[in-house]
Amino acid sequence: MAATSGPGLIGIGDNVVDLYRDRGIYFPGGNSLNVAVLARRFGLSQTEYIGIIGNDAEGAHVWKSLVEEGLSDAWLRVAEGPNGKAQVDHDESGERIFVTSNLGGIRRKVMLRLDDDDFALIERLGHVHSSCFSYIEAELPRIAAAARQLSYDFSTNRDSEYLREVCPHLDLAFLSGQGLDDDGIAALIDEVQDCGVERVCVTMGERGALWAEGRTRLRQPVSKAKVIDTMGAGDAFIAGFLSASIQGVEPDRALQHAADCAAESCGWEGAWGHPALDKPD
């Protein structure tokens, strides 16, 4: 993969707003956008986001919020239709419960296609992160050819056919180990590595995270947190890891930084703040 002149990160793909139905407010979110915003917040000076927003109030709020976080709006596409929106409830302990979503809104219908300017940015910053919610699988071969490193969050998508489709283009895979015991996580890592990704990180909630690079395994415990809201904590972990590793930090220290960042993110509302009042049509 092509070299770059300096460390930077581009999130490409999904953005949403997370509507807290019990409170009538929403926050900007979505894995690719969250990682770009939070990597900057956690110490990486050059981050950008390429994606599609809707031409509604939610899309406008995502636009406004990412600019307030220091990202450029030069790489946004505005499409006529609803922005991605997820609806969230909270249980008695405050833990979030995802209820439903519009599956990315207009983003699912329009699809993101990259142009020469986008690829020039990729070649300049070098590192790209995307996710299984981004509808960008068709662009992965070209992104991989232009980028120094392509990381990808599969979340809980462990479908073997999907892994075989996507993994050959990746340098680093993140997955959720939700619902898996240690044997299941070990088998998942083996499957992803067999599909072509040597470096794999599985997040395991309160059990921490497991890093695999070839046959090496590193287990990272969670860091102590004062919990206000756990929304986006997994994305904060990814952002923390990438913000450190892109700057040359070794995996063990990058994992600790990631755990600290995930804990820090639990101290604010939403994935990275910026609440807005929901105004139903």
Q: How is the chain split into domains, by residue range?
A: 8-273
Q: What is the pLDDT of residues 133-160, one digit of tens each?
A: 999 999 999 999 999 999 999 999 999 9
Q: What is the pLDDT of residues 196-216, one digit of tens each?
A: 999 999 999 999 999 999 999
pLDDT at 91: 79
pLDDT at 279: 86
Name the H helices within the chain. 31-41, 57-68, 106-110, 116-125, 140-146, 160-166, 182-194, 233-245, 251-265
N- to C-terminal Cα separation, the chain? 47
CA distance 118 to 140: 13
173 - beta bridge partners? 152, 200
Return the DSSP state at 4: -
Q: What is the pLDDT of residues 61-112, one digit of tens each?
A: 999 999 999 999 999 999 999 999 999 998 776 677 889 999 999 999 999 9
Q: What is the pLDDT of residues 219-250, one digit of tens each?
A: 999 999 999 999 999 999 999 999 999 999 99
Sign of the C-alpha dihedral, residues 244, 250, 251, 256?
negative
Averaged pLDDT of the chain: 96
Task: Write down how long the chain is.
Answer: 281
CA distance 9 to 76: 16
Instruction: Count other Cβ atoms within 10 Å, centred on residue 259.
Output: 23
The architecture that CATH gives domain 8-273 is: 3-Layer(aba) Sandwich (3.40)
- On the CB side of 157, how many CA atoms lie within 13 Å of its CA? 17
Q: What is the pLDDT of residues 3-41, one digit of tens each?
A: 335 689 999 999 999 999 999 999 999 999 999 999 999
CA 184 to chain centre: 23
Q: How sure is the predictor about 1, in pLDDT bands with cuts at 50, 70 and 90?
A: very low
- The token pair at 96 is 């979030």
Q: How sure is the predictor about 281, in pLDDT bands with cuts at 50, 70 and 90?
A: low
% of the chain surpassing 70 pLDDT? 97
Contact 106, 83 (CB under 8 A): yes
